[in-house]
Structure 1
């Protein structure tokens, strides 16, 4: 039996990977191709990418967008992706003005409501809680763990 979130909006992918750099992203793409999850006919990946927590503050919006663009060009498919702005409303607003469609912002409800309106008017999505994601950090063997993930050996 698969453990799928019950209240997952239909526009969201079935899972997320935390993306730290190009090598991590390509490892995910190659593992998905090897598992048959990504094929030549796949235009939109069934999984998405999240930036590292608070990445807007230490890597910036242009870096994130360039990284995603490069992965999309290399793999030939598009990804749902969200940039984590931590608690910074300023970073979330800046990301929106730079064309970022989806962000994660964890702040009080009044500020969240104002920023949510901004994202909704531009066709984006504002997460108030960071979605769960598969993070390839530390001494993990990326190939082994990614293969297990796509073969559904991991609990989801």
Structure 2
């Protein structure tokens, strides 16, 4: 993922407050920026309010994966979320990009490759991933 200043920010999948806290703290301690992404299709089965509540106050760029559901992506942008991932038709994508311009959000056509935190050794795996992705 690329931020506004053209810096690569490695994406990490988070599905709950514990994972988000781990990613936020680890990125801060290493002084390496990253982005957080919801699990695939989470905008459809967990919903926009869930992601909005989870990432409220998160200092990292956060992306809600809405699968193919352009309606959920539009709802997320209207709710003030800054990033959505949606595999939409060309007309839907065009409409979402227009909406994102008005809300200050961003739309990705496809999910980036993101680190899935393992059940054991998540901090170590995250540190290795962030260090390997960091280009000084």
Partner residue in 1 for 2:31:
37
Count of residues paired in the alignment: 133
Change in 2 beyond 3 A, CA 1:13/1:69: farther
Moved over 4 A (4+): none
Tell me whether 1:24 sits opposite 2:43 in the alignment.
no
More helix by share: 2
| Larger Rg computed on CA atoms | 1
More strand by share: 1
- Give, in whole Å, the separation in 1 of the partners of 2:82 and 2:4: 16
* CA RMSD between the two structures: 2.4
Partner residue in 2 for 1:120:
101
In the alignment, is the contact (CA less than 8 A) between 1:19 and 1:49 conserved in 2? yes
Partner residue in 1 for 2:90:
109
- Deviations 1:110-150, CA, capped at 9 Å, x for gaps: 2211121111222211100112211114x442122122223
Unpaired segments ≥5 residues, structure 2:
none
Change in 2 beyond 3 A, CA 1:30/1:122: closer
In the alignment, is the contact (CA less than 8 A) between 1:13 and 1:80 conserved in 2? no
Tell me whether 1:141 sits opposite 2:128 in the alignment.
no
TM-score w.r.t. structure 2 length? Answer: 0.83
Unpaired segments ≥5 residues, structure 1:
39-45, 73-77
Tell me whether 1:61 sits opposite 2:42 in the alignment.
no
Residue among 39, 60, 63 paired with 1:79? 60
- Give, in whole Å, the separation in 1 of the partners of 2:93 and 2:62: 19
In the alignment, is the contact (CA less than 8 A) between 1:49 and 1:79 conserved in 2? yes
